[in-house]
Structure 1
Amino acid sequence: MGLFTVEEAKAELARLLPMLDELVSLRADAAELTASLAPGGTPTTLGGLPEFKAAQARLDELMTNVQETGAQLKGFAPLLIDFPAELDGVDVLLCWIEGDAELSWYHRADLGFAGRRRLP
């Protein structure tokens, strides 16, 4: 996949947000179902093994859908998504983490999350 412009990445993130919201909700359901299925686990009203398997399948589908856009799913809990881009001739990753209201951060591709800065 190619590079995103800032505008393209923001538009793609806006399109992905409903999927990301569903992913967060399913992630919580899967965690609760996993705990309930463990020996001595606390029962849940969410169901049992069939519901867990359905949640896992949908999570896999959503994660695949995100990655097919060219975005990079870097973290699951919390969700962390990078959009490959170039700023002023430097390879960067436009960076969104669960809880961010919008795409407003980036970091150099060689620095990772620790090098995160606000978009100019």
Structure 2
Amino acid sequence: MNYKLFTLEEANSLLPQVYAELLILRDLTRTFEEQLRHLRSMKADYSPSPEQASIDEDPFFELEAQLDFMRLEIDTIIGNFDRIGVQLKMLEPALLDFPGIVEGKEVLLCWKEGEDGITHYHGWEEGFAGRKRLP
């Protein structure tokens, strides 16, 4: 597998930038979900009159296009995490992993929203439940 290994200092210095992107992603995802629920509700309630049914215009086209664009933005931001080598594990609360090395072993430096910096790590197979304090 080809991935970047972060030092603790690199990962901590990247945290403010990555967290800012994560907040944008979180807001965009919330808006997307709200708009999707709205669209589904509109479609469920839609019963066109015979005159409306004969018109070729799709009454949902604009909202569907907005959702498509938001989905593209979401995918781009998630892709940015991948490109810099940060693993986005969860949006709320934010949970990020940075591949790194601790005591000669490849691990994931683990940060959870609310923590001042990266103070924990876990193995690749252990997940969050296997978090240990950094030595």
Identity percentage of aligned residues? 36
- Aligned residues, how many? 116
Give yes or no for contact 2:22–2:91 (8 Å, CA) kept in 1.
Answer: no
Which residues in structure 2 correspond to 1:29-68 (within 5 Å)?
A: 29-39=31-41, 48-68=63-83
Deviation at 1:77, TM superposition (A): 5.2
Higher relative contact order (CA 8 A, sep 6+): 2
1:57-92 C-alpha deviation (Å, 9 max, x unpaired): 110010011110011223355543211111111221
Among 10, 19, 22, the residue aligned to 2:21: 19
Which residues in structure 2 correspond to 1:79-118 (within 5 Å)?
A: 79-118=94-133
* Unaligned stretches of 5+ residues in structure 2: 45-61
Q: Which has the higher helix share?
A: 2
Alignment root-mean-square deviation, CA: 2.4
Partner of 1:7: 9
Q: Which has the higher strand share?
A: 1
Q: Mark the CA change 1:62 to 1:106 in structure 2 (over 3 Å): closer, same or farther.
A: same
Q: Mark the CA change 1:48 to 1:79 in structure 2 (over 3 Å): closer, same or farther.
A: farther
Give yes or no for contact 2:21–2:77 (8 Å, CA) kept in 1.
Answer: yes
TM-score computed with the length of structure 1 as normaliser: 0.80
2-structure distance, mates of 1:80, 1:8: 17
Name the SS of the counterpart of 1:38 in structure 2. helix
* Unaligned stretches of 5+ residues in structure 1: 42-46
Greater radius of gyration (CA): 2
Q: Mark the CA change 1:101 to 1:54 in structure 2 (over 3 Å): closer, same or farther.
A: farther
Name the SS of the counterpart of 2:107 in structure 1. strand
Q: Mark the CA change 1:111 to 1:101 in structure 2 (over 3 Å): closer, same or farther.
A: same
